[in-house]
Chain A
Amino acid sequence: MNLRYISRRIVHSILLLAGISFFSFALSQLAPGDFFDEMRLNPRISAATVEGLRVQYGLDRSLAVRYAHWVRSALRGDLGFSLAYNGPVGPLLKARARNTLILTGTATLLAWSLAIPLGVWGAASRSRWSNQICGLATSALLTIPDLLLFLFLLLVAVRTGWFPTGGMISPGAENAGLWHGIADLALHLFLPSLGLALVTLPVLTRHIRSAMADALNSPFVRAARGHGIPRTRLLFRYAFPVAVNPLTSLLGFSVATMLSASLLAEVILSWPGLGPLLLEATLAKDIYVVVGTVMLSAVFLVAGNLLADVLLFATDPRIRVE
């Protein structure tokens, strides 16, 4: 991989992010009203006070001016000002983003660890009933609305008491020592990441299964079989490495979809990530937080795609060695 390629990608990414920032900024202005709407409804606060606040926070300026200020703030690391939390958006996002990453990272790992064996088994097994079961299970999972699934998990937590019903760590856990802290985190992490994994599992499994089935039917696998290569070796040394190729692009995409699904998971299972923050800020019209969160998601997406490209380059000799 060389410098020229990397610098090209970086420039493209920056342009993309700049474009996204402008559009999300502009679009968020389309919603009627602003942060101080609630305040206006309160009869004890005069209209003049509200106007004064608006001017103070610069909400009366034009779109272009506000965008310019925001960009300046963004480059400083503040990413604007949160009206609700009364502080810069940047640090607010940092902690939340970390939590979301922990969740989506674990969920991605879990989803792929389940999808790969299921997909490979589905493609390799020649019995009809295994294909039926695989198809049925994935269809079932697909048709269940995400909302229901997360609510169900919440129900499990409440009814059985095996898992905490929300949050990321128990109070006092920070002081209890490293292993205890990790175990505590894992306990909290389990249900949300399981839910997220289950939501993305069906599509992943189907893709893996069809990529493996294609690879198993390809001429070179048949030729290798003709040379007497045993079945398990055919599966893992011949079919799988070729099936992996379309899957690396899928990895980039799955990171992106995982992010949008995580919003729901975080809100319902009370995981302190970007999701609840975004929801809150959108409802309160805390615009800079909204824009900041959207930008962060865009960064994750771009990083995910870059990761997918790098993986593809590393795993496919046809691209790497010409």
Chain B
Amino acid sequence: MEALLRIQDLSVRYRTDNGAIHCAVSGATFEIGDGEAVGLVGESGCGKTSLGLALLGLHGDNAEVTGSAFLAGRDLLTLDERSFQQIRGAKIALISQDLGLALSPVLRVGDQIAEVLHAHSDQSWNQCRTKAASWLMRVGLTPARRMFSAFPHQLSGGQLQRVLLAQALICRPSLLIADEPTAALDVRNQAEFVALLSRLRAEFGLSILLISHAPEIQARLADRLLVMKDGRIIEQGKFAQIYQNPSHPYTRAMLWRSVAGRPIQSAEHHQLIGRESLAL
């Protein structure tokens, strides 16, 4: 079966102010299948975000992208701005951790969701607004009427993240790139968001590229995992396999909150006090 997204030897190089070339992503090769959720872990600043941005043509003028990224047979990296604009939001959607910063402060939240649909379909503005309202209910923001006319500064972090999710999914994209979507949320909101995403994924057969440093989030959502170090993918495979048997010490460091050379088990937490025991 042809994979939804096929990345081959993708590299992203940035030219910094003093002329030096910084390689953010180096020779990445992997696939994402239909309806599959693939996690991406790695040190902060190692290129995970650049990868997501490159797939949508959002990487900025001082970056050079080489390699290929086939989405349903079409190489994304050969597209011009106009074609990218048609893909963004419609075939591939991106949400990140910025929450309140990702929405216009002077437009109502419901309208901002409707805008995304309006940009990609021929429906009338009113039709788009109706769809947006139904999406607000889908992501659990009720009462829909009040939420629709709210402004971003009136909503909490958890609510904002749901709005961003509605924006991302309203055009039914095939791939969602989620860049640290829960980093700014507290535990309860994180859990709710993960449950919501899981449900929507099942409902729409959505593929997800999940960038998150929290192994708990990856465990709940990711089928397969990619481990990135210094721009290179050093390990990939099924999540469970990698978690239980990581081949690189780096991977261990990224995934395990460790004690005595292995990941903490929930059953033993009550025997632990501070770091003294952990240093065994």
Contact = CB atoms under 8 A, between A and B. Distances in A.
A72 B84 CA distance: 72
Central interface residue in A219, A226, A241, by most chain B CB within 10 Å: A226
Contact of A228 (B116, B151, B154): B116
Contacts of A220: 101-105
A227 B151 contact: no
Given A222-B58, A233-B119, A237-B115, A227 B104 contact: no
Interface in B81-123: 84-90, 93-94, 96, 98, 101-107, 112, 115-116, 119-120
Interface string B3-21: 0000000000000000000
A124 to B, nearest CB: 14
A242 B105 contact: yes
B89 A226 contact: yes
A231 B58 CA distance: 14
A233 B120 CA distance: 13
Q: Is the interface of A mostly helix, strand, loop or mixed?
A: helix
B24 interface: no
A88 to B, nearest CB: 49
B119 A227 contact: yes
B214 to A, nearest CB: 22
A316 interface: yes
Contacts of B86: 228
A242 B93 CA distance: 24
Interface residues of A, number: 25
B167 interface: yes
A321 B151 contact: yes
Interface string A218-235: 111111111111110100
Contacts of A225: 58, 88
B98 A228 contact: no
Given A219-B98, A222-B58, A321-B154, A229 B116 contact: yes
Interface string A289-308: 00000000000000000000
A318 B168 CA distance: 25
A241 B107 contact: yes
A316 B151 CA distance: 11
Contacts of B112: 224
Given A229-B116, A229-B119, A317 B88 contact: no
Given A318-B151, A321-B151, A230 B105 contact: no
Contacts of B105: 220, 242, 317-318
- What 6 pairs across the A-B complex have the smallest Cβ distances? A228-B88, A228-B89, A227-B89, A223-B102, A219-B101, A227-B116
12 contacts: A221-B104, A222-B58, A223-B101, A226-B56, A226-B88, A227-B88, A227-B168, A228-B119, A231-B85, A315-B106, A318-B151, A321-B154
